[in-house]
């Protein structure tokens, strides 16, 4: 935590928790939807096919904060058990719940009780009996070891102070042969010094992000195999507190990543 404006991991997690509870998961200043000057239309996240989002409540679409679409690569099958780390208001959990029917279950875990309340309300609206929302932290998920077929996450792990701990927890939870399919932000190179001291820059998925190479190394160190990290340019704006010079310095280095890996089969 040397260069960070937080005295401990707990202080950082509490800041992130408060930030998303007070601003909303997708409020324009909250996260990857970024640019305060632009209004975010429902379903604006271009990572999902419009047919996939049809029939979902507009409020749910407007409330999501994605930086990719983990479900595109998760290849969910009926009967599978899925877990979304940092599910927010539940978009990916609810989409996953449909895909694993019949017989499967989609769990979402988040530390934001306000977001979880909304997620539960959408679940009821959609009549999805096989979606479950859990209150907790992604570093210590209240589920048994080797109980999950597929772990997904969308724009969350960059926010964690100790990413290795989160990936170890994912490894614990996955069944042998289970899949990890993440969408996240990555940052190649160092952020400008002023932003390193700006707590909102961590909360908006910028300064907590690590490089693609660091992600690969961490996943391999934890024991994951067949690691793939694919980068794409981001489709979100700049947080309003990032000035022109900093934007220029960060251009092309703050990216969207699709990250996939397997836990080895027993
Ligand atoms: C950028 S939002 C993404 C929400 C959701 N995945 C989506 O795509 O709409 C980040 C979410 O991660 C949650 N989060 C961040 N760090 C967490 C942690 N350590 N444990 C549990 N939830 C966390 C926040 O509460 C917030 O809901």
At 125-174, the pLDDT tens digits run: 999 999 999 999 999 999 999 999 999 999 999 999 999 999 999 999 99
Cα 109 to ligand 1 centroid, rounded to whole Å = 9
Does residue 87 have its Cβ closer than 6 Å to ligand 1? yes
Among the ranges given (39-53, 78-92, 111-125, 141-155), the one the predictor scored with the smallest mean pLDDT: 39-53
CB contact set of 159 (below 8 Å; sequence gap of 6+):
16, 86, 202, 203, 205, 208
Among the ranges given (39-48, 116-125, 192-201, 217-226), the one the predictor scored with the smallest mean pLDDT: 39-48
Phi and psi at 5, nearest 5°, equal -80, 30
Quote the pTM value.
0.94
- Catalogue all structural domains in the chain, each as residue range(s) with its CATH number: 9-262 (3.40.50.150)
Does residue 116 have its Cβ closer than 6 Å to ligand 1? no
Among the ranges given (50-54, 95-99, 239-243, 252-256), the one the predictor scored with the smallest mean pLDDT: 50-54
At 24-44, the pLDDT tens digits run: 776 543 344 434 344 444 445
Does residue 110 have its Cβ closer than 6 Å to ligand 1? yes
Does residue 210 have its Cβ closer than 6 Å to ligand 1? no
Pocket test for ligand 1, best of 23, 34, 110, 162 (most atoms within 8 A of CB): 110
Half-sphere CA count of 70, side-chain side, radius 13 A: 32
Q: Which atom of ligand 1 is nearest to the CA of 138?
A: 20
Tell me the percentage of the chain whose pLDDT exceeds 90.
74
């Amino acid at each position: 935590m040397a260069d960070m404006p937080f005295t401990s991991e707990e202080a950082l997690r509490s800041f992130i928790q408060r930030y998303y509870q007070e601003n909303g998961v997708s409020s324009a200043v909250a996260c990857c939807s970024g640019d305060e000057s632009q209004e975010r239309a429902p379903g604006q996240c271009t990572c999902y096919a419009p047919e996939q989002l049809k029939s979902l409540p507009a409020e749910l679409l407007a409330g999501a904060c994605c930086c990719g679409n983990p479900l595109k690569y998760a290849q969910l099958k009926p009967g599978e058990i899925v877990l979304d780390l940092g599910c927010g208001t539940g978009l990916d959990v609810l989409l996953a719940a449909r895909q694993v029917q019949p017989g499967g279950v989609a769990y979402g875990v988040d530390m934001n009780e306000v977001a979880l309340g909304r997620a539960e309300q959408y679940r009821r609206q959609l009549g999805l009996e096989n979606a479950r929302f859990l209150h907790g932290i992604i570093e210590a998920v209240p589920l048994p070891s080797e109980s999950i077929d597929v772990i997904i996450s969308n724009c969350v792990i960059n926010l964690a102070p100790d990413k290795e701990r989160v990936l170890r927890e994912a490894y614990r939870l996955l069944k042998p042969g289970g899949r990890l399919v993440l969408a996240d932000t990555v940052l190649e190179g160092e952020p400008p010094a002023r932003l390193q001291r700006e707590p909102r820059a961590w909360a908006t998925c910028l300064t907590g992000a690590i490089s693609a190479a660091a992600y690969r190394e961490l996943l391999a160190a934890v024991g994951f195999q067949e690691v793939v990290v694919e980068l794409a340019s981001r489709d979100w704006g700049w947080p309003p507190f990032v000035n022109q010079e900093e934007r220029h310095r960060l251009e092309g280095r703050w990216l969207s990543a699709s990250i996939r890996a397997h836990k080895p089969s027993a």
